[in-house]
Amino acid sequence: MILDGWTVGLTVGGGMLLLPVLHGSLVGGRILRRWDATSSDAAQLRLERQEELVALGLDVALGLLLLQTLLFVLLLDRLADLLVGAMCATGVVRASSFGLPALLAKGGTLLALAVWRALFRADRLVGGFPNARPRAKVLLFLVLPLVGLDFALQTAFFFDLQPDQVTSCCAVAFRLAPSKTQELLDGLSPGRTLGLFAGGLALLLATGSTARTRALRGGPAARRSGWLFAAAALLFVFLFLVAVTALFGGYVYGSPAHRCPFCMLRGAPAWLGWPTYGLLLAGASAAIGGATLAQAWPRDEEGAVIRTLARRRFGKALLYQLLAAAGIAAPALLWQLSTGVAISG
């Protein structure tokens, strides 16, 4: 176990983050049992008013979660000092089997909250919580388990790590030469990586523009293309990270062997990690939010407002992810322009 001010602080704060989500889930359970939009009795009125508190609580939870994710990444970097062989966050994440799942759980929680928030945004626009039940389900069956899982994994991670534990640094984890051991990303040539990345981009553009066009029309086709785009955006997050570790990282750091996805979060060059990963995740959550909106517009008469909103979300998602792609590929492209040597070679 690693006990220090940071791990204790993150555990306490993370526990607090559970509270608004738990409260929301309690109200959510009541909504699933008793919600009746046509009724105007006192119980229904209470539920409607409690919904406002739940929404505010989840806003606070989102703020805390973003702060926690930021601090968690900073902590990973800090802990590198304590582990043998870890030069940066990569080594720390690899030092425990809970490391990567804890990071993924944070990302998953952010995306789950994006679904809830999209539904709530629709309710806000239309008024009167037409999506109260779907939202309660999302909260109970998606957000709550993920927030709990995130907290459990993070705590398990802190307990599992040992000071002086031997781990490996990013240079070993993402090394260039093909190795017999089970290192990541063996045999992914620059050409193939570039192909995958470009394919992901093309898929993103195709599904994104389709989703945008169809969003205004509504109907099952719009729903389908919304989810297709959301899936493409998630896939692109994965391809993006693969491309960083297999190809682009080397150009970002200006050293072919150094392709760690974490090192660009700790300063040079230009803290490139924060804006690109931030845009990537914001894009993915906008895509999921848009798909949710396209799925769940409540009534036909107010549908237009929400369809417009869904369309705007799709546009944002596309823009954010393209910007992230441009940001990460820029050093490689600049290198190719200045040297004339193809990066795919």
Which C-beta is closer to another protein: that of 2 or that of 113? 2
Q: How far is CA 224 from CA 130, 214, 230, 237, in A?
A: 22, 10, 10, 20
At its nearest, how many Å lie between another protein and the CB of residue 82?
5
156 binds another protein (CB under 8 A): no
Which C-beta is closer to another protein: that of 53 or that of 202? 53
Q: Which of residues 60-119 bind another protein (CB under 8 A)?
A: 60, 64, 67-68, 70-71, 74, 78, 81-85, 87
Name which position in 29, 34, 43, 128 contacts another protein (CB under 8 A).
128
In the chain, the amino acid numbered 343 is I
d(C-alpha 237, C-alpha 116), whole Å: 21
The contact mask relative to another protein for 4-23 (x = CB under 8 A, - = no) is xxxxxxx-xx--xx-xx--x
159 binds another protein (CB under 8 A): no
How many residues belong to the site for another protein (CB under 8 A)? 48
At its nearest, how many Å lie between another protein and the CB of residue 270?
17
Which C-beta is closer to another protein: that of 3 or that of 326? 3
34 binds another protein (CB under 8 A): no
Name which position in 48, 160, 183, 302 contacts another protein (CB under 8 A).
48
Name which position in 40, 182, 338, 339 contacts another protein (CB under 8 A).
40
At its nearest, how many Å lie between another protein and the CB of residue 165?
10
* 8 A C-beta contact, residue 167 and residue 91: yes
Task: Please give the residue ranges that form the binding site for another protein (CB under 8 A).
Answer: 2-10, 12-13, 16-17, 19-20, 23, 37-38, 40, 45-46, 48-50, 52-53, 55-57, 60, 64, 67-68, 70-71, 74, 78, 81-85, 87, 127-129, 163-164
